[in-house]
Amino acid sequence: MASLIGRTLSHYRITELLGEGGMGEVYRAEDSSLGREVALKVLPAEVAGDADRLARFQREARAVAALNHPNIVTIHSVEEAEGVHFLTMELVAGKTLDQRIPAGGMPLGEFFAIALPLVEALAAAHARGVVHRDVKAANVMVTGDGRTKILDFGLARMGELDADPSAATQTATQLGAVLGTPAYMAPEQARGLPATALSDVFSTGVLLYEMLTGERPFRRIDGPSTVHAIVHDTPRPLATRRPDVPHDLARIVARCLEKDPAARYASAEELRAALAASRSRHVRSPLDLRSLLARWQVVVPAVAVLAGLAALAVWGGLRSARSERVRTETVPRIEALLEQGRYFEAFTLGREAQRRLPDDPTVRKLIERSSWAAEIETTPAGAEVAFRAYDEPGGPWHSLGRTPIDGARIPAAYVVFRLTREGHEPMLLAGGDPSFAVALVPAGTAPEGMVRVPAGVESSGAAEPVELGAFWIDRYEVTHRDYAAFVAAGGYSDPRYWQEPVVYGDHTLEWEEAMTRFVDATGRPGPAGWELGGYPEGEGDLPVRGVSWFEAAAYARWAGKDLPTVYHWRRAAGMDIFADILGLSNFGGDGPAAPGTYHGVGPWGTYDMAGNVKEWCRNAAGALRYSLGGGWDEAPYLFSDVDARPPLERRANQGFRCVRYDQPPNEELMAPVEGLRYDFAQVEPVDDELYAFFAGLYAYDPSPLDARVELTDDASPHWRRETVSFEPAYEGPRMVAHLFLPANATPPYQAVIYRPSSAANQLPRVEDYVNLPDYVPRSGRALVVPAYWGTFERGVEARSFSASAMRERVTRQVRDLRRTIDYLETRPDIDSGKLAYAGVSAGGEYGPVYLALEDRLQAAVLVVAGFHDAHMLREPPEVNPWNFAPRVSVPTLMINGENDFTLPYETAQKPMFDLLGTDPEHKRLVVIAGGHVTTDRHALIRHALAWFDRYLGPVQPAPTGR
């Protein structure tokens, strides 16, 4: 609406706009009748005619006017003038909390001085049946004299005015939005359910967390992601963000933030009492010193006697009360954390409980359940050892004492150890092994920028385990600045550094001819991404990339080092912390980061071995050279997978790091590692009788879906996103699916059900999966992404590879796909007769299982699919894709990379294609550029859409767009 500044409504002259939001604009105005300044809240003219909005605006006035509390803004009147509806309120001068909260959080005294009046005001409102529904920092004002005022009950409602909860839900649905501010709303509000006083308690918990840390507990990159986090994620414990916050206060805030309303404080009054008790324990009240001095001669003798008796009584009472709280509150919380597999938090809370109840057997057993006994030795002894949570890089360090350590307890979780001893290099170790022995490195003897990896056993791929001696490896990847020193030293003009023959096709190049291939974009010696012999401005600290294997080997030789063998690289990278390291590494990013920016530390103190840039290794694989670790633009599972690339290739995500050996590796370690791929052309699928038994394992009985829409998002111009949930086809948490409904087509939509790669096993949200096929909704078809069991929101902490665990995983995921189709059949905006399947990597590899068991699909596209010997050979036959492939009849397109080292064409891709039971006229295998991750996205899109067009038919475009 047009600005009202300068206008006069009735006897109010409007002078300044103070703020605006969904429920109206707020102005400063002069009341000429009473000679005072007031705040005018005005309903926008364009929505004043909406009966629901107008009624809610008027309800705000009645709700706030019914309250009389010094910490709630006072309302003067409700008026209308010249067609403008407005109310007049007390003008509060000061700063809102979002302007006052410092970056690191408030001091405790200031925190309590604001928080207690705030909660007291909410308690008073709740006692009158008023729910605020929009508690947030911007709605709390602190005046110049320190008074706290709650502003804007614009979303409040009187309990007696909305007796029918369904009416509130219906209204919210009709408006197309959930009322409230996403960052602060309670989970039930995010789901479109009516807000209650307990919703205000949750929002207050968000605000208290923000006041103490300077950060919101569920802050994400955008509104939908924030709402998703509120519904599904647990915020980082306060202790990890601000260790000085008292434990009881941290528990108060955590209880406010419980997802289940019944687990929160039963009322704002109960929360107020808890905060008041915490303040009394941790913030001292000022004393009237002059009064005490005037009476000290009379008071002191009596106090001396009484204080001693009272102190004993109070101490005993406090100890008893604290002990009871440990048993009734802390112990159940520890048990719940153990059930969730959150052992580090359970251990930390158990240690806190043990300080209160040192001899309690229940607490002792809980600590034992959440921890391991550590046995740590160092040479020499006397090193200080501390540990922290692996996934909390900024978390507190916990001391274990000095080595040798025997029996001290550490959490049964992945941790980072820090070892320090005077006269020796500090050492970081990471992993889940509580017992180890290491030799400390004397100060000044370590090669610059390198860490020590002790001797041990390592294997790679299908090769036999090998014994490795101790060696050094670069802590970080080689940077542009490092590499520039090699170029400046004449590295490209000295044949001594270029000892391996450069083979191009069938021709071995002369050294001078080979060097003409190792030039930058301007023809000068240097990596592919450089210009005029130098790296891009501002990128000196980024990892060098765009280098061939030959250039990496030459640099290593110039630096007096070598490229690591695959065995040494994997020993240093540590496959045992695979799942935890991925979340702290640069996968799915926009580009490489400066080494050490990400906190994924390896078992011996290296960084960025997962993600950032791929790293060349010494060993050959036929005409290829190994390239390990994955890059920023690749899927996280490539950290543990093996890959090999043409050695002349100079990709933008290809870099390296170096090693230095105590003793040069023997010929066996330097020899080619072929991978020993299993040839799946020789597999024999089971007969029909046994297959029928296998298929029966995936069956389920029809049952009510109880479906509901959890979230809608219209932020994209290309689609509307809906997150839905429904009951699964087995006992367990509700099934979740994400629908991306096209903006450029007319319903009912054709739909493509997507099965992502195994990267989804490590990602908590679908937003984190960077390779969603957005071309599907942009082509006019609905993209449906179920959160299959063990993926995204339905991730599973403990991942076992036993036969029973594999059987459970695959059978549940197939049922998830079928149950999703059950749901799609209930939606009138989906054409259930035109459904297709699309899977990539794991989704392609297991595609035959889905396709054989679900006959409601009309087409399928399997991207980088084939039989994977790294895990399929260990699986039980009832989940092996080759037993299902002959039973597939749906038209199927396979799109594979021509240089896929993970799924080679002859031994993995073609055997799957040949086994597919689909009529030869309706199946096709297309090989395009790339490896296990295609480098020709346009070709992939072109072939996939052509296949959908052929078997689903053209889409019906929207007449005028959404």
- So which residues are the catalytic ones? 134
**What six digits make up the tokens of 925?**
């295998």
Strand-pair partners of 928: 897
Q: How far apart are the first and last CA of the chain?
A: 25
Give 3-state DSSP helix, strand, coil % of the chain, rounded to 5: 35, 25, 40
Cβ atoms of residues 473 and 450 within 8 Å: yes
Q: Which residues lie closer than 8 Å to 680 by C-beta, 6 or more apart? A: 866, 867, 869, 882, 907, 908, 911, 912
In angstroms, what is the C-alpha Rg of the chain? 33
Cβ atoms of residues 578 and 602 within 8 Å: no
Q: Which residues lie closer than 8 Å to 475 by C-beta, 6 or more apart? A: 449, 450, 451, 595, 596, 605, 606, 607
Q: How far apart are CA 458 and CA 790, in angstroms?
A: 29
Q: How far apart are CA 235 and CA 683, in angstroms?
A: 48
Q: How far apart are CA 368 and CA 596, in angstroms?
A: 35
Residue with tokens 């459904």: 835
**What six digits make up the tokens of 50?**
């909406």
SS3 for 457? strand
Integer CA distances (angstroms), 392 to 41, 388, 396, 584, in order? 45, 7, 8, 9
**What six digits make up the tokens of 408?**
């001290």
- Alpha-helical segments (H) within 773-928: 775-778, 803-824, 842-845, 847-853, 881-884, 910-915
Residue 699: phi and psi, rounded to 5, are -75, 160
Among residues 697, 701, 712, 715, which one has the least CA distance to residue 879?
697
Q: Is the peptide bond before 748 cis (omega within 30 degrees of 0)?
A: yes
Strand-pair partners of 211: none
SS3 for 603? coil
Among residues 799, 792, 803, 739, which one has the least CA distance to residue 769?
792
Question: b or e along 351-363 (b: 16 or more beta carbons within 10 Å of the residue's beta carbon)?
Answer: bbbbebbeebeeb
Q: How far apart are CA 808 and CA 797, in angstroms?
A: 15
Q: Which residues lie closer than 8 Å to 31 by C-beta, 6 or more apart? A: 11, 12, 37, 38, 88
Q: If DSSP states are collapsed to H, E and C, what string results for 61-114?
A: HHHHHCCCCCCECCEEEEEEECCEEEEEEECCCEEEHHHHCCCCCCCHHHHHHH
Cβ atoms of residues 738 and 787 within 8 Å: yes
Integer CA distances (angstroms), 858 to 751, 753, 833, 913, 923, in order? 10, 11, 8, 18, 12
Looking at residue 244, the DSSP 8-state letter turns out to be T
